[in-house]
Amino acid sequence: MSFDIVFNYILKRSGIGCGAGLDGFGELLERLGNPQQQYKIIHVAGTNGKGSVSAMLARTLECAGYKTGLFVSPHLVSPTERIQINSKAISKPRFSQAVLEVFQEEEEELNFFEILTAAALWYFAKQQVQYVVLETGLGGRKDPTNVCRPVLSVITSIGLDHMQYLGSSLAQIAREKAGIIKPGVPVISGTVNPAARDEIRRTAKEKNAPLYFVSEGEPFYEYAYDFVNNQTVLHTRDHQEWILHALGRRQTINACVTYQAAKRLSLSEEAVRRGLESVCLPGRFEVIRTRDNTLVLDGAHNPQAVELLMDFWQKTPFTHDTTLLCGFMKDKDYKKMLALLCPHFERIILTVPPSARAANQADLFAALPKKAKILFEPDWKKAWALAKKSPRVLCTGSFYLVGAVRGKLRL
């Protein structure tokens, strides 16, 4: 069966609230031979930064000499990006094979994310990886990935996102994310909000899980140069300079979380440095220079991420004569995101990302800031054609839009 047929079929299983649930998913994994028990797992949750930390950790483990699996979501261009071994995405034939293996053992109807999670876990076992960095999909407590028992749990940050599913306060959301904490398994978190920290601390105490909170700069660098020739320079406590191609303040915090996690895994400092300096993070303040213009792609998709993006934006050389191309999912706080974005740009093109969950014209126009001069073009391809006439473009608001634009570039 072809890759396109397989993926389009499982795409029809999308939807939150459907699926087998944790018990049913655990039973499925038993029928698959419990592949999640055949390697060591680092389980990563969080509102923002979990994809970046997952990629950083996987690359660091790879640099330490381990055959390492990585499971992330969403994808940008191809769903094969979600399942990687040693920085290489699964091939389309193997993706199809893994999904079909899951279907052979399906008794209760699985949802889209359950299928992909099971396929990834099976594939990693088949390929005899040593470590897997496993990113949650939504929340943590009820997420399919939570059937696994990891050697380390990571909670990157807590912000107001997916509130209709996770709760309306940071404490409630933190409680859901802290659901990944397992008895006796160490936890590392980059969360800074006091209420969220209290929830994580309470859960870790209940589970007798050693807990380490990481603040910006800890535990290894004194200060950072945020933007130097499209790089971030970290000046370490032992007077070295580490060069990160991952840009933005959030990435320096993610690097600290990764560093602490690597130390808990007894990885060498050289492996950590090589991992952080060589990791590739598509769609996370990714600067792409073409013959005609400079494009910045950033998948910031909630107010917390957009606020960090705009804070960093002021430190870059892109602040003048830049067109903002943005689109949002209808279940996001796009009103607040627009309020944060609009004051920084004179030319704004608003569009609809290629997703059934995208916010449409009626949704968006009701949320526009007063006096905002915005061109609305519902067809994202036409919107991109208009935006790229500018010397500089920032594309943000949704990974679906960022991925679609990135796919048009054929990188």
Shared-domain flag, residues 245 and 312: no
Shared-domain flag, residues 292 and 161: no
The CATH number given to whatever domain includes residue 7 is 3.40.1190.10
3-state secondary structure of 113: helix
Predicted TM-score (pTM) of the model is: 0.92
Q: How far is CA 94 from CA 35, 77, 401, in A?
A: 16, 17, 27
Shared-domain flag, residues 104 and 224: yes
pLDDT at 179: 93
Cα 315 from Cα 295, distance rounded (Å): 16
Count Cβ neighbours within 10 Å for each residue of 323-345 and write b for 16 or more, e otherwise: bbbbbbbeebbbbbbbbbbbeeb
Shared-domain flag, residues 33 and 126: yes
If one counts the domains in the chain, the total is 2
Contact 135, 51 (CB under 8 A): yes
Shared-domain flag, residues 207 and 68: yes
Residues forming a β-bridge with 153: 43, 187
Q: Which residues contact 49 (CB under 8 A, 6 or more apart)?
A: 156, 157, 190, 250, 253, 254, 257
- Omega before 317 cis (within 30°)? no
Cα 231 from Cα 244, distance rounded (Å): 6
Domain end (from 259, 278, 297): 278
pLDDT at 193: 86
Shared-domain flag, residues 235 and 292: no
Shared-domain flag, residues 267 and 294: no
Shared-domain flag, residues 116 and 202: yes
Shared-domain flag, residues 43 and 143: yes
The CATH number given to whatever domain includes residue 352 is 3.90.190.20
User: Which of the residues in the chain have pLDDT under 70?
Assistant: 15-17, 160-168, 226, 371-372, 411
Domain range for 383 is 286-409
Shared-domain flag, residues 262 and 295: no
Shared-domain flag, residues 210 and 131: yes
Domain end (from 278, 306, 324): 278
Residues 293-350 have pLDDT tens digits of 899 999 999 999 999 999 989 888 888 889 999 999 988 899 999 999 999 998 999 9
pLDDT at 371: 66
Shared-domain flag, residues 216 and 263: yes
